[in-house]
């Protein structure tokens, strides 16, 4: 990202951190792992901001949560939550946003590539989230997959589709030189 847009990217990354938190707010508890919109905004951050700024965005989000701000699912927060049963999902957002960003950058900014990139990120989320859930709660593998993955697959597919549409809405807003490029020395 070139230097002249550093400020804009800082602002957008912060906005995404806030959107991720807002997406965690609307959580539906269906067991130890709730349904959230949070992961959609994580993946969206990857395709809109790219890997580096995506990481910054998720990093700030997790940092705020770790400090005790109520930004995790259902208004929870704190280090305990980060090391709790759903901590694996939360921490997986870092590699997930990075992978999504890299895939999206290499493939290009088309809707079908967006979907692919987000699917790749999604797999990363489960690859870390489910084993962590099994470890912390001491469930059997079958049980962990049953409460930590199966119930979300359809929802996540819908979220990925919605995310791809959202990208189509957001890109024109932020790429029009609407308010000009901000130059710094």
Ligand X SMILES: Nc1ncnc2c1ncn2[C@@H]1O[C@H](COP(=O)(O)OP(=O)(O)OP(=O)(O)O)[C@@H](O)[C@H]1O
Ligand Y SMILES: O=C(O)CCCC[C@@H]1SC[C@@H]2NC(=O)N[C@@H]21
| H-helix or E-strand spanning residue 179 | none
- Dig out the tokens for 132 from the structure: 């962590």
Q: Near other proteins by CB under 8 A, which window of 21-29, 95-103, 106-114, 115-123?
A: 21-29
Shortest CB 42 distance to ligand Y, Å: 8
Bridge partners (DSSP) listed for residue 35:
28
- The DSSP element (H or E) to which 28 belongs, if any, is none
Residue identified by tokens 């692919």 is 116
In terms of Cβ atoms closer than 10 Å to its own Cβ (0-12, 13-18, 19+), residue 150 is: exposed
Contact 77, 114 (CB under 8 A): no
Range in contact with ligand Y (rule: CB under 6 A) among 11-19, 34-42, 109-117, 165-173: 34-42
Stretch that binds other proteins, among 60-68, 93-101, 106-114, 116-124 (CB under 8 A): 60-68
48: its two tokens: 């809109």
* Residue bearing tokens 């609407």: 178
90 contact choice in other proteins, ligand X, ligand Y, none (CB below 5 to 8 Å, kind-dependent): ligand Y
Q: Choose which of 175, 178, 181, 184 interacts with ligand X (CB under 6 A).
A: 178
Q: Is residue 67 near other proteins by the rule CB under 8 A?
A: yes
Binding characters for other proteins, 81-110, by CB under 8 A (x = yes): x-xxx-------------------------
Binding interface with ligand Y (CB under 6 A): 24, 33-36, 39, 72-73, 86, 89-90, 125, 152, 155-156
């Amino acid at each position: 990202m070139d230097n002249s847009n550093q400020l804009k990217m800082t602002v957008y990354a912060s906005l995404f951190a806030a959107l991720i938190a807002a997406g965690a707010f609307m959580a539906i508890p269906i067991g130890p792992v709730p349904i959230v919109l949070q992961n959609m905004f994580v993946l969206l951050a990857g395709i809109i901001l790219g890997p580096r700024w995506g990481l910054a965005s998720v990093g700030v989000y997790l940092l705020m949560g770790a400090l005790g701000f109520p930004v995790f699912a259902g208004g929870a927060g704190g280090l305990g939550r980060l090391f709790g049963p759903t901590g694996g999902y939360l921490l997986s957002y870092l590699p997930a946003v990075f992978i999504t960003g890299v895939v999206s950058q290499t493939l290009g900014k088309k809707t079908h590539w967006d979907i692919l990139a987000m699917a790749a990120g999604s797999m990363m989320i489960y690859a870390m989230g489910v084993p962590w859930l099994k470890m912390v709660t001491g469930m059997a593998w079958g049980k962990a997959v049953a409460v930590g993955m199966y119930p979300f697959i359809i929802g996540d597919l819908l979220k990925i589709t919605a995310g791809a549409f959202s990208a189509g809405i957001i890109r024109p807003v932020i790429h029009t030189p609407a308010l000009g490029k901000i130059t710094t020395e």
